[in-house]
Amino acid sequence: VSNAGVGMVGPLECQSLAAMQSLMDTNFFGLVRLVKEVLPDMKRRRGGHIVVISSIMGLQIVFNDIYAASKFAVEGFCESLVVQARRFNVAISLVEPGPVTTEFETKLYEEAERADYSQTDPETAEIFTQLYLRNSRDVFASLGQTPEDIAEHTLRVLAAPRPPFRHRTNAAFTPMAALKRADPGGSIVTGAFYQLVFEHGAVLRLGLR
C-alpha cells in the first residue's frame, strides 16, 4: 500500500519550484520507488497486489495545480502499468478519496490562511483567500471523510477477490468524475467547475451547509 503524500494549495505564482519538486518527489516518485522495489518479486511469483492511495483531486480542483498534477501523474503511471502487471497476475488498485479530515489538511489550510500572497495579483489573492479557502472549510465540514473510513475502503479493495483498478470512496464526487470522462473536449466540465466557483458560489456554500 502506497500512502505517502504531501499537499500544496495556493496561487501558482506564490509556490517555489523547489517546493513543487519536493512535492512531486514524494507524491509521484515515492510511489515509483516503491513499485520498483516490489514489482520484480511479484512478477517472479506471478502474484501480488499494489494499492495506491490517489485522490479525487486529480479531477480539476482550482488552486491545487501542483498537487493535482502529482495525482494526474500517479493515475497515468498506474494506468500504463496495470496492463503489463496483469500479464503477471499482479493487481493494481487506485483508491481515490475526496477530502479527508485529518491534521494534515487542517495544518495545510491554516498555513494557507497565514501565507503571503503579495507575489500574485490582488484579484487572484482575493479569490483564493475569500472564495477558495471559505468554500474549502464548507467542503471539509460537509463532505470530509474520516481516516478510519478511508482505511475501511482500502481494506475492502485489498480483500476483493477481483480487485478493482479504480475505487472512489466518496459518492458525492461521482457525477463530476463521470462528466469529465464523458466530455472528451473538456469544455463542459471546465464550464461546470467555473460556474460552481465563480457564478454559483453562494448556492454551492448553501448546498454544502
Task: Establish whether 67 is a catalytic residue.
Answer: yes
Asked whether the beta carbons of 92 and 140 are under 8 A apart, the reply is no
Q: Which of 67, 109, 117, 194 is catalytic?
A: 67
pLDDT > 70: what percent of the chain? 93
Number of Cβ within 10 Å of residue 174's Cβ equals 11
Cα–Cα distance measured from residue 184 to residue 181, given in angstroms and rounded to the nearest whole number: 7
Exposure string (b/e) for 44-58, b if CB count within 10 Å is 16 or more? eeeebbbbbbbbbbb
Grid cell of 30 as nine digits: 515515492
Which of helix, strand or coil describes residue 93?
strand
- CATH number, span 12-205: 3.40.50.720
Residue 114 has a pLDDT of 85
Instruction: Tell me: pLDDT of 189 over 70.
Output: yes
Report pLDDT digits (tens) over 122-171. 999 998 888 888 777 777 777 788 899 999 999 999 999 999 999 999 88
> Hey, how many other C-beta atoms are within 10 angstroms of the C-beta on 132?
20
Neighbouring C-alpha atoms within 13 Å toward the C-beta of 209? 9
Average model confidence (pLDDT) for the chain? Answer: 88
Quote the strand ranges of the chain, DSSP E: 48-53, 90-96, 166-168
Question: Is residue 30 scored above 80 in pLDDT?
Answer: yes
Is the per-residue pLDDT at 200 higher than 60? yes
- What's residue 164's pLDDT? 96
- Give me the mean pLDDT over the 104-113 stretch: 81
